[in-house]
Each structure stands twice: as C-alpha cells, then as structure tokens.
C-alpha cells in the first residue's frame, strides 16, 4: 500500500505537538569511531585509532529522540543513577529539547551506558555498564506517580522494555490500567522476561525471535506468522499485534481482520541498531496523528528502512520519512503505468 501525497502530508504534519510518554530503560550510548591499521602485539585484536567520540540517547531515550525528530513532544520517564553518566544524559536530553524532568534518580544503581567501538563502519566491540536487577518498590512507585501526573495531557504512552528493571511485572498492570482509564493508548515493545504481562495494551510489538521464544515454536513461513500473531493477540487481549520480521517486513494483526504482511522498505542495511526504537516511536506518533493501524505500520516500515541504512543508533527525521513515503508513491505510480 502507498499513501497519497495529501495523506502523507496530513499525517506527518499532524504529528507536531502530539504528547507521547515513553516509560522504560533509558541509556547513554557512547561511540568511539576510528580506523584499524594494525593488530595489537599484546593479543590478536585490532588496535583502533580513535578519530571521533560522541554520546547519544539510548534505549527508551532513543525512542523519545525519535518522537522528537518526528515532530512529536516526548515525555521521558525512566531511571538514571546518581553519577556522571546520568548527568551527561540529562544534559544531552535537555540540549535535544526532550527534557529530563520526569527521570527518577536512583543512587543505588548506575546509569546504563553502552559503549560501541566502530572502525570502517564495522562494530569492533560493545562495552556495557549496567545493573539488571529489579527496581526497588519505592522507585517503581515514583515512576507510576510520574506517569499519573502526565496522563491527562498525553496522546499515547509507550512501554519500552530492555530487561534493565524499569518495566517490571509489578509496574506494567499499574501503568496500563491507569492509561486505559484515562483513554490513553498504550504501545508496547516487550522483552521475554515479562512477555505475557502486557495484557490489554493497544499495540503489542515483538520481533520474531521474541515471539518464537514466548510461543515456544518457530514462525518461519507466512502461515505460521499469521497464526502466531493471532495467538498473541488473543492471549494478551490486546487490540493489535505488530510482529517485526527483519528483512521480511512486518505482520499486522487486528481484531475482526485477517493478518496482513507489509514487506520491508529497507534498501540498504548498514546497521539494525535502534530500528525497533524507531518503529515503536513511528507507530505511536502516526496513530496520535490520526493514522489507521495499517497506515501506521506502513510509515513505521519506511522509518525502519531509513535508520537501517545508517551506522549506529540514529533517529528518523520527519522530512526523511516524508521523502521516503513520497518516493514509494512515485514508484507505485510508475509500476502501475507499465
């Protein structure tokens, strides 16, 4: 399916100012980029001559960053440590216009930091500083309170789980019930640990591997994927399931409709880092702008294709998405004329 030029512009313009909360594991992504010309004499490993260092919002913070670059207004709710990395992340968010006012500081754990070393567009290694234990009940209470304060102003809420302790089994039903009572749709990007705790959400977006692990069966062909998506929708009592399939695109399952496959729009895959963040952000922003679920998945598919063409975690820009959707429209018209 392609969207008309008028529809593309209407939806993308309507994303502006839509307030969407992101509740989840925030991270600081650090990058060391350089070149490799020799092997270390100390061990058979490459020596990277660093030419550039940078810091970026990661995890749930990257979802918020994608919302910001799409024109929406993100409200980021998560946990950082009382450390320099947390200060760096807060300053970074403020500089990007996202804000860190709803972040909870927990002095008992570090801010999650992922450091990537890249040379010649290739990942050499990743170094993680993190604590994966469950959050203390007091911290979870503060997170729920932060959500409650924002709910009256929200057009959507994303639960973004990376198994770092924020999206705990005890937090999920409290946030989902409060959001639904307020009429705020909930979009979920799950991980395996609490997979079946996300009942009654609006949109449930696992990738194929996560779904296979949870269902304990393979989802290789289209029939298996259709039945898997329908089973997830029934077991979770959610409104729709978006099953991401990597190079095969996305499967959308909705109630009262047959599941449909939307083929991938990636033209060149350089790096899949952050693609899932972009997908959930685009889904939520599109729906908040008035898109149907099918239109939202089409937009998310194009957005994922854009960021997969870049090395490292990067957000999708609204104008880049506009251009990609418009290019697809032109290609569709050209094919129909042949």
The model's pTM is 0.91
CATH number attached to the domain at 5-26+57-103+130-337: 3.40.1190.20
In angstroms, the CA 53 to CA 31 distance is 6
Q: Which of 314, 329, 254, 249 is nearest to 287 (CA)?
A: 254
In angstroms, the CA 315 to CA 39 distance is 34
Please state the rounded mean pLDDT for residues 12-34. 96
**Model confidence band, residue 192 (pLDDT cutoffs 50, 70, 90):** confident
In angstroms, the CA 186 to CA 158 distance is 6
Backbone angles phi, psi at 157, to 5 degrees: -140, 130
In angstroms, the CA 146 to CA 77 distance is 7
- Answer whether residue 332 shows pLDDT above 60: no
User: Which of 167-181, 247-261, 308-322 is modeled with the greatest confidence?
Assistant: 167-181
Q: Which of 284, 266, 60 is nearest to 161 (CA)?
A: 60
**Model confidence band, residue 334 (pLDDT cutoffs 50, 70, 90):** very low
Among the listed residues 189, 271, 277, 328, the single catalytic one is 277
pLDDT in tens, 151-172: 999 999 999 999 999 999 999 9
Catalytic site includes residue 83: no
- Give, as one character, the DSSP assignment of residue 190: -
Q: Hey, which bits of 25-107 come out as E strands?
A: 26-39, 46-59, 73-77, 79-81, 104-106
Domain chopping of the chain, boundaries: 5-26+57-103+130-337
Tokens of 299: 């937009």
Please state the rounded mean pLDDT for residues 289-305. 94
């Amino acid at each position: 399916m392609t969207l008309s030029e008028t529809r593309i512009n209407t939806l993308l313009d309507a994303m502006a100012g839509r307030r969407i909360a992101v509740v989840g594991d925030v991270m600081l992504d650090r990058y060391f980029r350089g070149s490799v010309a020799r092997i270390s004499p100390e061990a058979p490993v490459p020596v990277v001559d660093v030419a550039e260092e940078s810091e970026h919002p990661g995890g749930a913070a990257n979802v918020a960053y994608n919302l910001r670059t799409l024109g929406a207004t993100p409200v980021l709710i998560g946990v950082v440590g009382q450390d320099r990395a947390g200060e760096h992340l807060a300053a970074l968010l403020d500089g990007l216009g996202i804000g860190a006012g709803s972040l909870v500081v927990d002095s008992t754990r570090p801010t999650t930091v992922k450091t990537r070393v890249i040379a010649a567009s290739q990942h050499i290694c990743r170094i993680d500083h993190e604590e994966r234990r469950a959050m203390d009940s007091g911290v979870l209470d503060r997170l729920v309170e932060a959500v409650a304060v924002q709910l009256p102003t929200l057009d959507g809420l994303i639960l973004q789980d990376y198994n770092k302790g924020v999206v705990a089994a005890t937090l999920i039903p409290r946030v989902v019930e409060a959001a639904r009572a307020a009429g705020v749709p909930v979009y979920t990007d799950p991980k395996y640990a609490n997979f079946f705790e996300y009942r009654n959400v609006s949109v449930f977006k696992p990738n194929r591997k996560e779904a296979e692990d949870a269902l304990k069966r393979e989802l290789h062909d289209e029939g298996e994927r259709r039945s898997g998506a329908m089973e997830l929708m029934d077991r979770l009592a959610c409104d729709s399931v978006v099953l991401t399939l990597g190079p095969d695109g996305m499967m959308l399952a909705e109630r009262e409709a047959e599941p449909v496959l939307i083929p991938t729009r990636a033209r060149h895959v350089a790096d899949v880092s952050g693609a899932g963040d972009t997908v959930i952000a685009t889904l939520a922003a599109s729906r908040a702008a008035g898109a149907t679920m099918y239109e939202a998945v089409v937009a998310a598919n194009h957005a994922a294709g854009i960021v997969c063409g870049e090395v490292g975690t990067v957000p999708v820009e609204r104008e880049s998405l506009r251009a990609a959707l418009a290019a697809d429209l032109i290609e569709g018209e050209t094919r129909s004329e042949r």
